Amino acid sequence: MTSEFTVAEQAALTSGRDAWHTTPVESAGLPGVTVTDGPHGVRLQVDPRDILRGQPATCFPPAVATASTWDPGLLRRMGEALGDECRAMDVAVLLGPGINLKRSPLGGRNFEYFSEDPLIAGVLGAAWVDGLQSRHVGASLKHFAVNNQETDRLRVSADIDERTLRELYLSAFKRVVTQARPWTVMCSYNKINGVYASQNHWLLTEVLRGEWGFEGAVFSDWGAVADRVAAVAAGLDLTMPGPDDTGDAELAEAVAEGRLDPGLLARAAGRVRALVEKSAARTAGDYDQEEHHALAREIAGRAVVLLKNEAPQGDQQALLPLRAGADGPSVAVLGEFARTPRYQGGGSSQITPTRLDDALTEITAATDATVLFAPGYRVEEGPERDPAADEGDLVAEAAAIAQASDVALVFVGSTNETEGADRDGIDLPADHLRLVEAVAKVNPRTVVILSNGAVVATSPWDKAVPALIEGWLLGQAGGGALADVLFGRVNPSGRLAETIPLRIQDHPSYLDFPGEHGHVRYGEGLYVGYRGFDAREQEVAYPFGFGLSYTTFGYGQASASASAAGIEVRVPLTNTGGRDGREVVQVYVSLPGSKVSRARRELKAFVSVPVKAGETADVVLTIDRGDLAYWDTRVGRWVVEGGEYHCAVGASSRDLRTTAAVEVQGDDVRLPLTADSTLGEWFADPRGAQAVEQAFAALPGEDSGRMAALFANPTMMLFLSSTPLSRMATFPGSPLTAESIAKLVSAAND
C-alpha cells in the first residue's frame, strides 16, 4: 500500500523526477519509468539541451493523415508498431493519442489531431490505444479536455455549454476511455468554463472516474499545474515535468495543516505506483526498421485523398494514374517539397526519422520516363540556393521545364503548423500559389500535390488544374506513398476527416476563434465543422468524408433495423469500375422533427471496405443506441429521443446515395412538474393536464366555467402556454393561489 510510504515519498511520487521519468522510491524498491512523446513516433530525447532532437525512430504519418484512412485496423497496427519501438527504447508510456476536435482550420496542432468529428477521433483513438497497449506500453490520452487552440493555451478558458461539451468535445474521450481503457489520461493546459483542467474535480473525478470508470493515472500536460494541492484534490495524480520539490513540500504542508486529506495524496501516489508496477510486465523488444518503414508507407498510401482527377483539355481519360513504363509521359517534378519533404508538424511530436523518402527520388525510381526537377520556391530546410536568384527566376525555371514535359507535378503546401501557435489564415504561401498558376498556364496536364498539416484553401486555383491530391503530412515514407498513388500502385481511398471550406470566413468557428482576454467562446455550439456548414446549407470546396478513387462504386438500397442495442444498417456496395478499390461507407443519422436542436445529420458509423472490380459486398454497419442520445441538460443525463431515424448512407457527407428509415423507442424523460413549469408543459404532460382539469373542475361554479373556457380557447392557450403556473396566481381575479398550486404540484407528481 502506498500509505506505507511517508508523506514526503507520496508527494515525490506525484511529480516527475525530471522531464521524462517518474520518481523512484528507493525504500520501496520502486523504480522510475520513462514517459515520452508520441503520438506518431517515439521521441526519446537524447540531448537535454535540444528538446526536439530524439533518438531515431519511425516517423509514422501524423494524425491528420491517419485520420484520412478512416480505418481503425491501420491505427491498431500503427499502435502495435509504436509499442514495439517503445519496448526497444524502454519507454513505459507513450504520450498520445491526441484526440481533441479540430474546431478551426487555424488550430496550430490540427496536424496532431484526427478530425472535426468525435466519432472518427474516438474510434481511431481507441484503436491506437489498443494497439500500443497490446505491447504492454501505456497510452496517455490527450489533451483532456477542450484543447482546440494554441493561442494562450496555458491560461485560456474554453467557455462552452454543457450539451456541446458532452456531445462533441468529451465524446471521443469517453469512447476511448470506456472502450480501450488507456493506462493514463493527460489533462490539458486550458480552463473549462473558468476552472483549469488540472484542478477540475468535475472533469477529472466526477466525469472521468465517476461516470466513465477510468482507473488509471491522470498526468498533467507539461507545465499545466498551477496549484499542486488543488490538483491532487481534484484527481490529478502526476505533475510533469519534474522535479518540483517546492510543490512536493506544499503538498506535505497541506496534509500537515489539514488542508489536504492525506487519503487524497495517498490515492494519487498509489495510482502512480500502480502504473509503475504495471509497466514492470513489459518485456524488452526490438523492431525491424525496414518493416516499420514499410508499414509507414502503407498507412501513408491509404491516407492520401484524391480530390480531383479529370481529363485534361483535349484528353479522353482522367490524368491519373500516370503510366510508369518507358512509354510513360515525361514528368516535370516541381516544388522544393518534392525534394525536401514536409512530413510532420512542429513541437513535442517531432520525430527524428530512421530514414526519409522524398517524392522526387521515388518518382524517378517509379518510371523509366524522363523526370526533370525545379524547386520553384525556397523552404527553410531546403538546400542553400544562390541568394541572387530571385523567386521570379525560380518560377520561370519551373514553368520552362513544365512546358517541355508531358505532365507537371507541382508540390506545394503549408509551412507553418506547429504546437504553440495557431495560424492566421488558410491560404497557400504566395510563392507556392505563383508556381501553381505559372505551371497550369503552360501545361494542361498539371497535378497539384498538397503537403499540409491543416486545411488550406484550394479555391479558386484548383479550377485551373485537372488533378489535385491532398497529401497532408505523411511521415518519413510519404515520398514513396505519393509515388505509389501517382503511378497507380495504390488506388487512393483516403477521405477528408475535416471540411475544406471555400474561405476561412465561412467556417462555423470563425467569429469565435481564438477568443481574447483569457476567454474563447464556443459560440457555434454543436455546429462544429460539417455540422455547421450543413446547418447553414453552405457551399464548401470539398465536403467532410469526400475522396475519389481510381475506380467507382455503386450503392444498392440500404435497410435498417432497430433493437435494444441500437441500429443495424445494411447496404450492397458494388465496385462498378475497372480496378480493385476500397470505399469508405459512411452513415449519417438524422431525426426529422426532433424536439431538441440537432445538426442536420451526424456521422454515426463508417467502414473502409475493399471490393474487387465488378464485385458486390454486403456491408453491415452498427450504431450503438448510446450514440443516438443527446445530453438533456434539464435532467443532467443522456436521453434517446423516440422517433423515426433516417440513416443516410453514402460516400461523403454530401454524397448520400441511399437512406433507410427506422423507428427507435425513446427513453422516458419525465420532468417533475413544478410551480415554475409553464402551462404548456403542464398540459403537454398527461398527469399535469389531468391534475389541472380536476382542480379547475373543483373550483366554485363561475370560476370553474371561466377557467375551462379560458383553456379551451386555443388563442388564449398559445398566449399563456409559456407562462409559469405560479404566475397565474398573480393575475387579478385568478382563482389560483400559491396554496392551490402547491396542491396541484403534489397531485401531478404523485
Buried/exposed 130-146: b ≥16 CB within 10 Å, e otherwise: bbbbebbbbbbbbbbbb
Whole-number minimum distance, CB 299 to ligand GLC, in Å? 21
Residues 643-662 that bind ligand GLC (CB under 6 A): none
Determine the Cα–Cα distance for residues 118 and 173; give it in Å rounded to an integer: 9
For residue 602, the cross-strand partners are 589
Q: Rule CB under 6 A: is residue 348 a binding residue for ligand GLC?
A: yes
Answer yes or no whether residue 150 interacts with ligand GLC by CB under 6 A: no
Least distance to ligand GLC, CB of residue 203, Å: 17
Could you say whether residue 139 binds ligand GLC (CB under 6 A)?
no
**Please, which residues have CB within 8 angstroms of residue 316's CB and are 6 or more apart in sequence?**
none
- Of residues 95 and 664, the one with the C-beta less far from ligand GLC: 95
The residue number whose beta carbon is nearest to ligand GLC equals 348
**Binds ligand GLC by CB under 6 A, chosen from 5, 13, 21, 37:** 37
Task: Name residues contacting ligand GLC, limited to 192-221 (CB under 6 A).
Answer: 221
CB of 584 to ligand GLC, least distance (A): 28
Closest by CA position to 740, among listed 688, 695, 680, 677: 695
The whole-angstrom separation of Cα 699 and Cα 44 is 80
Q: Which is nearer to ligand GLC, 97 or 375 (CB)?
A: 97
CB 528 within 8 A of CB 116: yes
Question: Which residues between 682 and 711 bind ligand GLC (CB under 6 A)?
Answer: none
The closest of 240, 203, 246, 235 to 225, measured between CA atoms, is 240
Nearest to 84 by CA among 366, 267, 292: 292
C-alpha cell at 186: 493527460
Instruction: Check residue 40 for interaction with ligand GLC (CB under 6 A).
Output: no
Closest contact distance (angstroms) between CB of 51 and ligand GLC is 8
C-beta closer to ligand GLC: residue 148 or 348: 348
Residue 87: CB minimum distance to ligand GLC, A: 20
Strands 467-470 and 446-451: parallel
> Could you tell me the smallest distance in angstroms from the CB atom of residue 349 to ligand GLC?
7
632 binds ligand GLC (CB under 6 A): no
CB-based contacts of 26, cutoff 8 Å, min separation 6 = none
Residue with smaller CB distance to ligand GLC, 97 or 466? 97
> Is position 221 annotated as part of the catalytic site?
yes
Cβ pair 47, 59 in contact under 8 A = no
**Number of neighbours of residue 325 by Cβ within 10 angstroms:** 9
Q: Are strands 35-37 and 93-95 parallel, antiparallel or unpaired?
A: parallel
- The helix (run of H) or strand (run of E) holding residue 234 is helix 228-234
Pick from 33, 95, 145, 611: which binds ligand GLC (CB under 6 A)? 95
Q: Are 351 and 334 in contact (CB under 8 A)?
A: no
**Residues in contact with ligand GLC, shown as a per-residue x/- string from 292 to 331 under the rule CB under 6 A:** ----------------------------------------
Which lies closer to ligand GLC via its Cβ, residue 99 or residue 628?
Answer: 99
Decide: is 417 part of the binding site for ligand GLC (CB under 6 A): no
Size of the site for ligand GLC (CB under 6 A): 6
Q: Which of 71, 152, 221, 358 is catalytic?
A: 221
What character string, x for contact with ligand GLC (CB under 6 A) and - otherwise, covers 217-246? ----xx------------------------
CA distance linking residue 41 with residue 61, whole number of Å: 9
Cell of 667: 427513453
Interface positions with ligand GLC (CB under 6 A): 37, 95, 142, 221-222, 348
Which residues does the annotation mark as catalytic? 221
